[in-house]
Amino acid sequence: MDAKIESAGVALNDSKESLAKRYRALFLLKNIGSDRSVDYICRCFDDSSALLKHELAYCLGQMRNVRAVPKLISVLEDKSQEVMVRHEAGEALGAIGSEDALPVLHKYVNDPAPEVSETCSLAISRIGWLANDDPKHGLHENPYASVDPAPAGPKKDKDVDSLKDILINEGLPLFDRYRAMFSLRNIGTDGSAVALGEGLFCKDSALFRHEVAYVLGQMQLSSVVPQLELKLQDSEENSMVRHECAEALGSIADEKCLEILRKHLTDTDDVVRESCEVALDMYQYENSVEFQYAST
């Protein structure tokens, strides 16, 4: 195992390697989940790729190892880091759930970047929810084994139309809308996915729209490909949202998705272009027996 960690850690931190290979190394380290894996991931935050650095933070959050907390705090506080990287560091702190992170999260609730401020607010709500509610309530129903920025809503709330109304109500707290989002995901039908897809067109929060795209990628249902394609091709949309749409299409991985992703391999936005490269690699995985991106 030590040799596997060493090999993956070296590949991850080698800027000369392809982004797809570095992603594979990152997810291997995530799935191993050891302290040494955390250390290798933390070393990579000086990379030039905002997409990769954002994924580093995501993986650290999914690993839920408190060893990563100091590094994630430093990334959140580093104004020279891209907004999408700082946002993901804040979300990872919420995923880990350590109350030690609360002072810095409160500090950045009023960050000028809404993606960062909204993320910190959500992370504070999640940590508070973990402290004050039954930690198993709403978490055990997640069929995707992911650590989400909010728990699904109460088990009794299973009506798709009612959940959609909460999802797209821009007057409600973001935490409540996220809970509806994850409830719709957990229902897992084409109807709930299409209802979720309507959240891609809410105007108030790019952070919210990017999370909707991520969740649609988890569901892997082709019924939402038209919605994802519309947002990916919208050059006026926030690159965080477009990037998640690309990766969602890579996860769904049907022939139509492949065609869409190839069109954006020359996109002028670096994050979107790199996302399409990685998504196509994910597509190849979905149609082979090679590397597993998801948790094992």
First-to-last alpha carbon distance for the chain, in angstroms, is 15
Q: Is residue 2 pLDDT above 60, yes or no?
A: yes
Cα(278)–Cα(296) distance, integer angstroms: 20
Superfamily of domain 143-296: Leucine-rich Repeat Variant (1.25.10.10)
**Confidence (pLDDT) at 89:** 98
**Confidence (pLDDT) at 253:** 87
Cα(85)–Cα(190) distance, integer angstroms: 32
Between the alpha carbon of residue 215 and those of residues 67, 162, 193, the distances in Å are 27, 18, 9
Q: Is residue 140 pLDDT above 70, yes or no?
A: no
| Residue 229 neighbours by CB under 8 Å, 6+ apart | 245, 249, 260
| Angle value at C-alpha 281, between 41 and 21, nearest 5 degrees | 35
| Residue 22 neighbours by CB under 8 Å, 6+ apart | 11, 12, 14, 52
Q: How confident is the model at residue 156 (pLDDT cuts 50, 70, 90)?
A: low
Where along the chain do the CATH 1.25.10.10 domains lie? 1-132, 143-296
Q: How confident is the model at residue 289 (pLDDT cuts 50, 70, 90)?
A: low
Mean pLDDT of 163-175: 96
Over residues 68-123, the pLDDT tens digits come to 999 999 999 999 999 999 999 999 999 999 999 999 999 999 999 999 999 999 99
Are the C-beta atoms of residues 41 and 59 closer than 8 Å to each other?
A: yes
Q: How confident is the model at residue 284 (pLDDT cuts 50, 70, 90)?
A: confident
Q: How many C-beta atoms surround the C-beta of residue 229 within 10 A?
A: 19
**Confidence (pLDDT) at 287:** 67
Superfamily of domain 1-132: Leucine-rich Repeat Variant (1.25.10.10)
If one compares 157 and 230, the residue with the highest pLDDT of the two is: 230
